[in-house]
Structure 1
Amino acid sequence: MRFFSKLTFFVMISLLLGACSQKVETGNDPARWVDPFIGTAGHGHTFPGATLPFGMVQVNPQTRLNGWDGCSGYHYSDSIIYGFAHTALNGTGALDYGDILLMPVVGEPVFINTEYSSPFSKTSEVAEPGYYSVKLDKPEVLAEVTATSRVGYHRYTFPKTENALLILDLQHRDRVLDSWIEFINDHEIRGMRRGSQWASDKVWYFHMEFSRPFTTKGIALNDTLRNELTKANGTNLKAYVGFDTRENDVVEVKVALSAVDAAGALKNLQEELPGWGFDETRKKARETWNKELSKIYVKGGTPRQLKVFYTALYHAMLQPNIFMDVDRRYRGMDRAIDTAVNFTNYTVFSLWDTYRAWHPLMTILDSARTVDYIRTMLNQYQKSGNLPVWELAGNETWCMIGNHAIPVIVDAWLKGIKGFDPQVALQAAINSVNADRVGYPVYRKYGYLPGDKEHESVSKTLEYAFDDWCIAQLAKNLNQEEVYKKYIQASQFYKNLFDPSTGFIRPRISGAWLEPFNPTTVDWNYTEANAWQYNFYVPHDVNTHIRLMGGDSAYAARLDELFSANTEVTGRDMKDISGLIGQYAHGNEPSHHVAYLYNFVGQPWKTQEKVRYIMDHFYTDQPDGIIGNEDCGQMSAWLIMSAMGFYPVNPASGQYIVGTPWFDEMDINLPNGKILRITASHPSEKNFYVQGMEINGQPWNYSYVFHKDLIAGGHIHFKLGKKPSLTWAFASDERPKAEVIDDQLVTSPYFNTTDTRVRKPISVSMATLTPGAEIFYTLDGSLPDNQSLHYKGPIEINQTTHLTAIAWHPSLGYSYPVDVEFVKIDTNRRIQVLSKVHPNYTAGGPEALIDGLRGPENWRLGGWQGYQGNDFEAVVDLGNIMPISYVGAGFIHDIGAWIWAPKKVEFEVSEDARNWKPVLSIDSPVSIDDYTARKLDLGGKINLKARYVKVKAMNLGKIPQWHLGAGGDAYIFIDEIIIK
C-alpha cells in the first residue's frame, strides 16, 4: 500500500509537470488567453475594466483614489470599490481619467465615497476582454460591465429592496472645473464634467439611459441632497436614482461619452447601442477582441507563455483611444470643435515610451491605424503649433522629453506607409524642434545641453539628437539637401557629452564634466534614469559610439559591466527604475534596446541570453507580472517584438535586430493580406541560442532583418541550440550597422574645472574629442575664430572673466562654442553649515551660500542646497564687526517636487559667536498647499553692527496626507544667504 501511494504521488507530479510544460496553440478564441489582471499589482498600473480595442470608453472599477500606484484607478491589492468610472489610462506613471462614476447602493442615498463604497472579495472578480464583474459585499449586488467603443454598459443584479440606488458622482477623482447634471425624464440623465489634473482641461459629456424607470431621484449640491432639483451645475455635483427591486432584479444602464457636447453623447448612444441586450453586447465585445488578437497566431508555447503573450497583445491594443463622435466631430488641441475629414482622431499618445517599439509594431500589424495616428498628430500640430509630446484628451501635458512624434512619422514614411503629406510633416518636425521651450534654443546654440542651463540635460541631448537624425532622413528622402546637412550634423551632438576618460555620456557644467560623478546616481541630469541607463542611447550612430568606447571588445566589455554591475541605484528615489539586471533597468524605457546591442560587436549569443531571460522572468502570468509601468503598451510591445525574434534598436530605420524567438511557430496576418510565418526549432529556457536562420528557405547569416522582408510575408526560420554559436553573424559584414558618416561634427572643447568662483588664480585646461582639431578662445565673451587666442596649454584666470572657446579643424570647420563666466568672489566671508546637506543638492559646497551667485529659478539646474527632513542652520562670519542693514535668504517653494518654503526663518547676530541676539523672525508667506512653484526671499531690514550672522530655517517635516508624497520628508532648498 505504501508503494502504491508513492507511485500515485510520482504519477500525479509527472502529470502536473507535463501540464505546466505542455505545448499549446492559440485556437479560434485568443481572448481566452487574456488575463486583464496581469499588471494590476506591483507597479504595472494597468486596469481590468471593460473596453474595446482602441475604444473611447473604459468602464473600470475604482479601488484607489490617489497615489502613484493608483494611476489607473485600480490596484489588485485593494479590497474596496468606490464605483465604476468610464475612462482609464493603461500603465501610465501619472494620475488622470476616472471620470463619471456610478455605484450601486442599497439603502438611503449617500454621497461621501467612504459611505457608498463597498468591500469585495477577490474571488468574486471576473475580468476578460470586454467584460468585468464583481460581487459587491455591502449592497449584495452583482456588478457587471461591458462596452462598445463610446458606450459603457452596466448590469446590476439587486437583492429584494425598496431602496435599490445608483449613485452618480461627478466630483470623483480629479479637480472639477465645472460640471452640470440634468434629469431628462424618468429613465435618462445627461450632463458634463470638466476636470483638471494631468490634462489641464478635460471635458466629458455623458448621456445615461436606464433599462427601467427610476421611482426616486435627487441631486446633491455640495453634498446636500436637493430632491426638488432636476438640473444643477457646480464643482461638487452628485445624484442618485432609486428603484424598487425584487430578488435578483436587474437594472441596466448605458452611459455614452462625448468630448464635444451632450448631443454628441446622445448620438453615440443611438448609433452604437440603440437597444438593450447586455449579453449580446458582451459577446460582440469579445468577437471584436478576437478579431484584433487574431492578427497573431501562436503555436508551441506553454499555457503560461500564451497567457503572457496575448495579455501583452491585449494591453498593446488598449490605446491610443478614439477621440471623436460617430458624426466625426472632436475637440481639438485648440479646444475648438472640428470635424475629422478622412481620418479617425485619436488621443493618448505616450510617445516617449511608445516610439521605441509600440509604433514600429503597429507598422507591422496595423498600417491603416498608423496613418490615422500620424494624421492625428499632424492635425494636433496645426491646432497647437507643436507636434504632440504627451497628448491626453486634446491637451498637451508636456510630460517627458524629446519630440517623438517625429520618429513615428519618419519611420512610417520610410517604410512606405503613406497617406499624409511628408512636406507638412517635415515642416512640423522642424518647427517643433526649434521651439522656444525645454532647452531647444540652448541645444542649438551650444551643440548640446549644458547641465547648468537645462535640467535632464544628458537625456534631452541624446533624445533630441535622435529626433534630429530622423528629420535628416525625411529631408534626404524628400531631396531637401540643406535640411539634411543641418540635422545630420545635429544628430551627432551627443558626442559633446562623451567623456573619453570614463567612457560615459555625462553632464557638463560650466563647460566641464560634472564632479563628483557616479554612474549609478539618479539626478536631474537624466530622465528617470542614471548614466548607466542612458550610456547606450545612440541608436542611430551605434558604430561611432563603439569606436568612441575603444572598439568592439571594449564596447562588449562595457555592456557586460552594465549587466553585471551591482543593482544598487543611488541618488533620487525613482520607482520607475525597476527590473534590474546589474544597472540595466527593464522596468523603464531607456534600457529597452540595450540587450540587442551585442549584435553590433559580433556577440549575438549574449543578446539571446539577455532577451530570453527578460522574457521568462520579467513577464509573468501573475497580477504583478509586468516589471514596471506598462506605459501605454510599450512594455508589452517589447515582449511581442522580442517573442517574434527581433527588435527595432533604431525605431525609425526599418531595421530589426535579431534576438531569439519565444514560440515554435508564429503566424502574423499582415495588413496587406500576406502572412509572415516565424518558426523556431524547439525554443525553451535552455534551447534558445541561434545557430542559423533561413528566410524563405535561403540561409540568412545576418543578425538583422529589414521591414521589407517582414511585410513581404513568407517564412523566417530560426535553428536553435543549447550552446552559443560563436560563428553565426560574427563577421563584421554580418552585423547590423548604424552609423552617421556625412557632415562630421567637430566636438566643442571641454574644460577641467566646474568651479567658477575665483578666490585665487585658477588654471584652466581645455581639450576636444576631435582628432586634429585646434582650440581658440577669447576672454571677453566674444565668439572666437581661428584668428583668436590659440590654446597651447593651461591658462590662468585670476579675475572676473568670460571665457569662450571653440575647436577648429582645417577640413571639418568649427565646433559649437562653449563659454563660462568666472566670478571673483569676496574671500573675507566664511560660513559654517551646521545641518546635514542632501548629497544630491550641495551646489558645490557651503561656500555656494555666500558666493554672491544666486540660484536660478529652475532649481533643477543646480546652485541650490537641499536639506531633507531636517532644519537648516548656518553661521556666516563676515571677517570683522561691521554695520548690517539687511539679512535674508533665498528659498524655493515647489511642493510638487517635495520642496516647501520653510515654516519660519530666524536670524541672530553676534560680535563674538558666543553671545547671540535675535534680530528677525519671519513666517512663510506661502500656504503649505500652494502648488505654484516660485523663488522667494525671506528677510528684512535691521540696523546694527555684528561680525556673525546665524540663520535658522524650519523644515515642514513630514509631508501632509493630502499630498502624493504623504509621509515622506520635505525639503528646504536655500540659496543665497543675503547680508548687506
Structure 2
Amino acid sequence: MKSFLIALVLLSTTIFQAQDFAQHVNPFIGTGGHGHTFPGATVPYGMVQLSPDTRIDGSWDGCGGYHYSDNLIYGFSHTHLNGTGVSDYGDIMLMPTMGEPSLDNKRYSSTFSHANEKASAGFYAVKLDKHDIDVRLTTSTRVGFHEYTFNNAGQANIILDLNHRDKLLYGEVRIVNSTTIEILRRSEAWARDQYVYARMEFNAPLIVNLIEEENTENTKLQGIYKGTKLALSFSKLVKKGEKILVKVSLSPTSYEGAKLNSSEINHWDFDKVKKEAEALWNKELSKIEITSDDKDKLAIFYTSLYHTMMQPNNAQDLDGKYRGRDNQIHVAEGFDYYTVFSLWDTFRAAHPLYTLIDKKRTSDYINTFIKQYEQGGRLPVWELASNETDCMIGYHSVSVIADAMAKGITGFDYEKAFEASKASAMRDVLGLDAYKKNGFISMDDEHESVSKTLEYAYDDWCIAQMAKLLKKQEDYQYFMKRSQNWKNIFDWETGFMRPKKNGGWDKPFDPREVNNNFTEGNSWQYSFFVPQDIEGMIQAYGGPAKFEAKLDEMFNAESKTTGREQVDVTGLIGQYAHGNEPSHHMAYLYNYVGKPEKMKEKVHYILNEFYKNTPDGLIGNEDCGQMSAWYVLSAMGIYQVTPGQPTWDINEPFLDAKVSIEGNKPNYLHLPNDRGILPQFGMENVDKPAHQLIIPVPVIQAESKAFKDNLKIEIINLDKDKYELIYNIENPNNKNLLGLRRYTEPFYITESCKINAFNIIRKSNNYSNAISAHFFKKPNNYSINIKSKYNPQYHAGGAEGLLDGILGTENWRKGDWQGYQSQDFEAVVDLQEVKEIAEVSARFLQDQRSWILMPTKADYYVSEDNVNFKFLGSVANTVAPKEEENTIVNFTFKTTKGQKARFIKVIAKNFGKLPEWHQGAGGDAFIFIDEITIK
C-alpha cells in the first residue's frame, strides 16, 4: 500500500520570462453567491483594501462589504475582509456627491450598473449614476488613491462617514489645513476594539460645509471634531470634467504613523500608482506559471492565487511600529508584522502553499504569532486588527509553526515558538481542561465537543513534531499520546466520530445532522479528520477495503443534511461539503488505500464543477484564501493532507505548472515533468504513533441520566479479548460504595450515584483514562405532557428533562435546554395526586445573539381533573431583549395558602419576530427552557 507522497526538492532551470500574469485576474469571482469576496483595489498582503460597499447591515453575504446582486453603492472604504463568514472592517469610508450635501446614507448613496464597472489586480472603477461621477481606485501597501471625475459642473462633495458599517466607539477628525485631514476611527464589530488612524490629502483645497457630530467630551476646539457619531462633508465648486484626487494613508498606531505612511505615494499621478500596483501583483503571481489555452482556467487559477495573497495583511507602519495584542505600540525588528489570521481555515492549504512560494512571509507570520503570545499570553486563533475574536476552534497556529519547522524554514526562534505552542495547548479553556483530564471532550464539558477533540488531537501531534525536532523527548511522548485522543470519540461499531454525554454515546444519532456537537458540519464531515494518524484511522474502520467503502459511502450518500441550517455547508458531493474546510482533505484519502484513480476522479470533478470564472464562481465563502489555495495546489497536482511533515500528496495535474522555490538563486519545480525524478515516500516515512497507542475509554450506556425507581447500566468494551473492564460506584458524597470491580454484565442502580470505569490490557498495567457518568434519582414521580413541539436539536434528553432536577448552564450548546421556535411553550405537569401548591417556577435562558429571547411572560394554571383549568397567576419578563450577556431567570409565582391541584399548566409566551435592531431582524425567536419546579 502506497500513499504516493512527494518531498519537494529544489531544481534549477531558466528564469521565467516577464509576463503579464495579472491580466488573468478577475476580482469579481466570488463576489456573488456565497463567496464573500470584494472587487476593489489592493496590493499583495497590503494594509489597504479600497473597495465599494453595497452592504452595510452586516448580513451573511455582505461580510466583504459587496455583493454582485446589488445595484447601490454607499461609498468606498479602505479595509475589507476576503471571504469571511463574519462581518467587519469598512473603515474610513468616502463617497463623492454633487449639489446640496447630505450625511444620510440613504441620500448620499448611488445606484450603479455592472456595465459601467471594471476591476483588475490593483484597480477598480465605476460610474455612480446619481450624479454621473466616474470613480477610479488604486492603492499602494498603506495608501488608497481615489480619482473622482465630476461630469457636471457645480458643487462637488466628498462625504466622510465614520459611522459606516461597524459601531463607532470614538471618532476624531482634525482639519490640518484645506487639503489635509487627520482621522481616528475606533470601532467595534467582530474585532471588539479596533484602531485605524488615517491621513487624507486632497489635490485641491476643500472646505468643510456639513458636520454631524455627537461630542461626548463637551469640549470644542477649532478644526477638531470628535464623538461617537461623526460624519463630515468637504466641498468644492468644479467645472464639467474636473477631477478631485484623494490619497488616504492608514496606520494602526498614530497620526504620525499615518503621515509617515503617506510617503509611499508622494505625487498625484494616478496611472503611475496603478502600474506600480500591477507590477507588485505580477511579481507575486509569477511565482507559479501555468500553461493553458483555456482562458477561463487561467482566470480561475490566477484569481485563486490572487485571493491567497490578499491576506494576511501588513499591519505595521513604515518604521516598523505596530499595535500589539496588549494594545500597546511596539516595533517589529527583523520581521514584518501582519494581521487577519483565519487559521482554522488557512492551516489546511493556504499556509502550506506559503511554505512553498513565500518562505520569508511564513517566518514573518510565525514571528507575529510569537509576539502575540508574548503580549497576549497565547497564540492567535482568529486574530483581527490586534484583537482575538476567538472564532472557530483549535490552536492551529501550531500547525503553521510545525509545518515551517519540518520544512526547514528559518527566520524565527524555534524554542520560543515551541514554548508558545505548548502554553496554548496547556490552557484550561474551551474544553481543554476536560480533554487533558479525560482524553476527550464530552457534551457535558463543552459544545462542539467532537470537533474540538479531533482538532486538538491533530494540533497536539504538531507540537509533538516540534518537540521531536528540538529533542524534547518528554514533551514529545506527552503530546504524541494526546494526539491519539481521537480514539475516545470514535464509535467502532458504527464507524463514526460521535458525541458523548454522561459517559455514553449521545442518542439519537444521525451522522447527517448538523448540530452543536460539531463545528460547522456533521459527523460525516468530521469522521475522517485524523491527518496525524491516517494509518490508525484506516485500521479503526476495519482496514483499507472497509475504509475505501466508507469513503465511497460518504461521496455517494444523499446530498442533504439534517438538523440546523448551516450556510457554510455547501458544495455537497454526497456528504462531502467542499464549501467548508473540514472536507478539504478527504478526496486525497483514497491515495492511502491505493486508489489514486478515485482520488483523481473526485479532485478533478471539484476543480471543474466548483470553481468558475463568474461572480458566483466559488461554491462556498473564500475564507481568507483557503478555498482558493485548495484550487491552486490541487490544480498543480499536489496537496498536503498533514501539514507538519515535509511531504506532499500527488495527483495527476489539472494544469501544467512551474513553481518558484525560494532560495539563494531562482529555483523552480516543473509539474508534472519533474515528478519522475522525485523520491516517493509511503506512510512508513510518516511519524506514526504506534508506540504511543492509547487504550480507548469504555462507554457507559443508560437510557437516561435521571430515573424514578431504578436504571439499567451497561458498560461497553471495545475489545473483550484484549481489554478488561474495571469500574466502581460512588455515592453523591464521593464515597466508594463497592471498590474496584471487574465488569461482567449489566447491572441496576436504585440511588443517585457516580460510576467510574476504565479499560486495562489483560495481564498488564496499561490502562485507559477513566470515564465517569452521573445518575440522579428523581426527587418525585411527576410526569409531563408537552403540548408544543421542541426543535429536535434542542431536546435536553426528552420531555422528562424538564423535571429531572438537572439544571443547564449559560452554555446552552451543551444540550441541556429545550428549544421552541415560532411558538409558545405549553406543558402540563401531573403531580400524580392532588397536593397543596406553594410555588410554581419555570427556568428560561436568553442569548439574544443566538435568537434566544426570554418569553414575554409565563402564565400558570391549576386543575384537579386535567380538563377544567383555573388561572393561577402570571410572571412578566424583566430582562431587556438587548441584554448582551447570556442570562438565566426563574419565572417564579408564589401561590396563596391552601391552593390545591394535581395538574399544573405552564404557558410561556414567545417573544415573536426579532426586532429591527437585531441582526436576524424579522426572524422568529426561540424560547429555551430547562426545568419546571413545583413546591
TM norm structure 2: 0.95
Name the structure 2 match of 1:264. Answer: 257
Q: Superposition RMSD on alpha carbons, in Å?
A: 2.1
Query: Quick one: distance in 1 between partners of 2:810 and 2:209?
Result: 53
Q: Shift in Å at residue 897 of structure 1? A: 1.1
- Equivalent residue in structure 1 for 2:906, among 941, 945, 951: 951
Checking the alignment, whether the CA contact within 8 Å between 2:135 and 2:149 is kept in structure 1 is yes
Checking the alignment, whether the CA contact within 8 Å between 1:543 and 1:738 is kept in structure 2 is no
Q: Does 1:358 align with 2:339?
A: no
Q: Does 1:235 align with 2:228?
A: yes
Structure 1 residues 786, 407: CA separation in 2 closer, same or farther (over 3 Å shift)? farther
Structure 1 residues 604, 972: CA separation in 2 closer, same or farther (over 3 Å shift)? same
Q: Shift in Å at residue 312 of structure 1? A: 0.3
Q: Shift in Å at residue 965 of structure 1? A: 2.1
Query: Quick one: distance in 1 between partners of 2:738 and 2:363?
Result: 49
Query: Quick one: distance in 1 between partners of 2:805 and 2:836?
Result: 19
Name the structure 1 match of 2:421. Answer: 429
Q: How does 1:462-481 map to 2 (within 5 A)?
A: 462-481=454-473
Structure 1 residues 734, 492: CA separation in 2 closer, same or farther (over 3 Å shift)? closer
Name the structure 2 match of 1:14. Answer: none
- Equivalent residue in structure 1 for 2:244, among 251, 256, 259: 251
Q: Does 1:774 align with 2:766?
A: no
1:740 partner letter: P
Name the structure 2 match of 1:846. Answer: 799
Q: Does 1:788 align with 2:733?
A: no
Q: Shift in Å at residue 736 of structure 1? A: 8.0
1:258 partner letter: S
Name the structure 2 match of 1:695. Answer: 676
Query: Quick one: distance in 2 between partners of 1:826 and 1:592?
Result: 49
Unaligned 5+ segments in structure 2 are 1-15
- 1:750-796 deviations in Å (ceiling 9; x for gaps): 12225121223222121233562212111117699998212122122
Checking the alignment, whether the CA contact within 8 Å between 1:322 and 1:347 is kept in structure 2 is yes
Name the structure 1 match of 2:101. Answer: 109
Name the structure 2 match of 1:511. Answer: 503
- 1:285-306 deviations in Å (ceiling 9; x for gaps): 0111111111111113511110
Name the structure 2 match of 1:821. Answer: 774
Query: Quick one: distance in 2 between partners of 1:227 and 1:536?
Result: 62
Name the structure 2 match of 1:662. Answer: 654
- Equivalent residue in structure 2 for 1:900, among 853, 857, 863: 853
Structure 1 residues 694, 214: CA separation in 2 closer, same or farther (over 3 Å shift)? closer
Q: How does 1:512-591 map to 2 (within 5 A)?
A: 512-591=504-583
Q: Which deviates further from its counterpart, 867-876 or 882-891?
A: 882-891
- 1:92-136 deviations in Å (ceiling 9; x for gaps): 000000011100011111011111000001111110111101000
1:65 partner letter: I
Q: Shift in Å at residue 451 of structure 1? A: 1.4
Query: Quick one: distance in 1 between partners of 2:339 and 2:248?
Result: 20
SS at match of 2:94: strand
SS at match of 2:789: coil
TM norm structure 1: 0.90
Q: How does 1:934-945 map to 2 (within 5 A)?
A: 934-943=887-896, 944-945=899-900
Checking the alignment, whether the CA contact within 8 Å between 2:102 and 2:108 is kept in structure 1 is yes
Name the structure 2 match of 1:171. Answer: 163
Q: Does 1:887 align with 2:837?
A: no
Q: Shift in Å at residue 928 of structure 1? A: 2.1
Structure 1 residues 694, 131: CA separation in 2 closer, same or farther (over 3 Å shift)? closer
Instruction: Give the total of aligned pairs.
Output: 911
Structure 1 residues 309, 650: CA separation in 2 closer, same or farther (over 3 Å shift)? same
- Equivalent residue in structure 2 for 1:204, among 196, 206, 209: 196
Name the structure 2 match of 1:614. Answer: 606
- Equivalent residue in structure 2 for 1:451, among 443, 449, 470: 443
Query: Quick one: distance in 2 between partners of 1:78 and 1:922?
Result: 46
Checking the alignment, whether the CA contact within 8 Å between 2:831 and 2:902 is kept in structure 1 is yes
Name the structure 2 match of 1:746. Answer: 695
Q: Shift in Å at residue 56 of structure 1? A: 0.4
Name the structure 2 match of 1:47. Answer: 38
Checking the alignment, whether the CA contact within 8 Å between 2:874 and 2:893 is kept in structure 1 is no
Name the structure 1 match of 2:915. Answer: 960
Q: Which deviates further from its counterpart, 464-473 or 924-933?
A: 924-933
Checking the alignment, whether the CA contact within 8 Å between 2:727 and 2:757 is kept in structure 1 is yes
Checking the alignment, whether the CA contact within 8 Å between 2:344 and 2:392 is kept in structure 1 is yes
- Equivalent residue in structure 2 for 1:315, among 303, 307, 321: 307
Name the structure 1 match of 2:481. Answer: 489
- 1:813-860 deviations in Å (ceiling 9; x for gaps): 121111111111145211110111111111111111111111222111
2:852 partner letter: I
Checking the alignment, whether the CA contact within 8 Å between 1:745 and 1:812 is kept in structure 2 is no
Checking the alignment, whether the CA contact within 8 Å between 1:223 and 1:238 is kept in structure 2 is no
Name the structure 2 match of 1:719. Answer: none
Checking the alignment, whether the CA contact within 8 Å between 2:356 and 2:661 is kept in structure 1 is no
Checking the alignment, whether the CA contact within 8 Å between 1:600 and 1:737 is kept in structure 2 is no
- 1:854-902 deviations in Å (ceiling 9; x for gaps): 1222111111111111110001111222222221211111111111111
Q: Shift in Å at residue 373 of structure 1? A: 0.2
Q: Which deviates further from its counterpart, 667-676 or 641-650?
A: 667-676
Q: Does 1:800 align with 2:746?
A: no
Q: Which deviates further from its counterpart, 812-821 or 506-515?
A: 812-821
Q: How does 1:281-296 map to 2 (within 5 A)?
A: 281-296=273-288
Query: Quick one: distance in 2 between partners of 1:195 and 1:215?
Result: 26
Query: Quick one: distance in 2 between partners of 1:976 and 1:787?
Result: 34
- 1:263-296 deviations in Å (ceiling 9; x for gaps): 1111110x21122111111110011111111111
SS at match of 2:174: strand
Query: Quick one: distance in 1 between partners of 2:242 and 2:739?
Result: 91
Structure 1 residues 898, 301: CA separation in 2 closer, same or farther (over 3 Å shift)? farther
Q: Which deviates further from its counterpart, 185-194 or 82-91?
A: 185-194
SS at match of 2:240: coil
SS at match of 1:471: helix
Query: Quick one: distance in 1 between partners of 2:765 and 2:292?
Result: 56
SS at match of 1:92: coil
- Equivalent residue in structure 2 for 1:833, among 778, 786, 790: 786
Checking the alignment, whether the CA contact within 8 Å between 1:367 and 1:671 is kept in structure 2 is no
Name the structure 2 match of 1:969. Answer: 924
Checking the alignment, whether the CA contact within 8 Å between 2:636 and 2:657 is kept in structure 1 is no
Name the structure 1 match of 2:27. Answer: 36
2:502 partner letter: S
Name the structure 2 match of 1:595. Answer: 587
2:932 partner letter: I
Name the structure 2 match of 1:77. Answer: 69
Checking the alignment, whether the CA contact within 8 Å between 1:301 and 1:662 is kept in structure 2 is no
Q: Does 1:131 align with 2:119?
A: no
Q: Shift in Å at residue 671 of structure 1? A: 4.3
2:727 partner letter: Y
1:799 partner letter: E
Query: Quick one: distance in 1 between partners of 2:662 and 2:291?
Result: 17
- Equivalent residue in structure 2 for 1:160, among 134, 152, 160: 152
Checking the alignment, whether the CA contact within 8 Å between 2:729 and 2:738 is kept in structure 1 is no
